[in-house]
Amino acid sequence: MIGIVLGTRPEIIKMSPVIRECARRNLDYFVLHTGQHYSYEMDRLFFEELDLPEPHHNLDVGSGTHAEQTARIMTGVEKVLAKEAPDVILVQGDTNTVVAGALAASKLHTRVGHIEAGLRSFNRWMPEEINRILTDHMSDYLFAPTEKARENLLKEGIDDKKICVTGNTVVDAIYQNLDISRKKVNVLKNLDLKPKEYFLVTAHRQENVDNRARLKDIISGLESIQQEFSMPVIFPVHPRTARRIDEFGIGHDGIQLTKPFGFLEFLQLEAQARIVLTDSGGVQEEACVLGVPCATMRYDTERPETIDVGSNILVGTESARILEGVRSAATWENCWKNPYGDGIAGKMIVLVCAAARSG
């Protein structure tokens, strides 16, 4: 049996190809949703939207400090694993769900597969970096998305026999879900937008949105972009970010703040944007795969491949630097090669797990 442990919407997206492949092969598997960031009821719509079966288990742990949340996830995951007794569990990425799920499984001597293993920002102030490192060193199967990720693992002394370079499931997810989105939604029409004539923004990282001066500078940079390019700036606001904008009393002239979109709508917005501005690791990857320039509002990234191929630029959080970076990205020809594989990562991962299950 294969256990798929996830807890956030990005994990649902990137795990969707794995879930579909398990179902296609009629494998014995289950999905455990920890409910780390959102309520299970809200995420139920995500599963419906992506045509995925509902999770078999729901912990609904909610938010809290890192220690509180990780402890609740470990306790819940342990109970489910003791009951289901899977041969291997799969976790994806760098959230508290990932490290807690891997640790609970390791204590029960259940094999762990880490999807998106080997990513490093080399910034240990980021809690996600700690989660990545710990999970990689607990895992039995390390599914690295690129050769660079594999090299990171080898430098840390991880046995090469445990590592499999698969590409990134984000490519599978984009290909599969973009096709679904074309049949279900038309968000550009709804927002009266024209392809390549608007900017798309996301911002949610704690170090950006919980710092009043930094968040104000980011929004000032977005205002400057709207004024200079005379194009709509669409900003689907994460709940945390919306609260901080209100608490800090930050204005946002010329920026269209919207509620968060479903993934299918957001994917369409990404695919047709002039430039994407973000502090999200996953959005950096998605923009790269979609052929859309990305300006990352951070000072480092665990997705250096996007920088290497020329799809992404680090612009920090100062307003002048953000505007300068967007001016540069607006001149790019968008002809880079996608570094994340050809869309079969999910199949490769399930194949390895199925072999381990029968071995």
Task: Give catalytic residues, as residue numbers.
Answer: 204
C-beta atoms surrounding 60 within 10 Å: 15
Strands 199-201 and 2-6: unpaired
C-beta atoms surrounding 24 within 10 Å: 11
Half-sphere exposure of 48 (CA within 13 A, CB side): 7
* Residue listed under structure tokens 């480092």: 300
Q: Which of 171, 176, 293 is nearest to 225 (CA)?
A: 293
Q: Could you say which DSSP state residue 162 is in?
A: G
8 Å CB contact between 85 and 108? no
* Stretch (H or E) spanning 214: helix 212-229
Q: Tell the burial category of 318 from Cβ atoms under 10 Å away from its Cβ (0-12, 13-18, 19+).
A: middle
8 Å CB contact between 177 and 264? yes
Q: How far is CA 105 from CA 77, 133, 137, 201, in A?
A: 8, 16, 13, 37
8 Å CB contact between 267 and 174? yes
8 Å CB contact between 43 and 15? no
Q: Which residues pair with 6 in a beta bridge?
A: 33
* Stretch (H or E) spanning 32: strand 29-33
User: 113: Cβ–Cβ under 8 A, 6 or more apart, which residues?
Assistant: 88, 89, 90, 91, 139, 140, 141, 142, 143, 349, 352, 353
Task: Indicate the SS3 state at residue 247.
Answer: helix
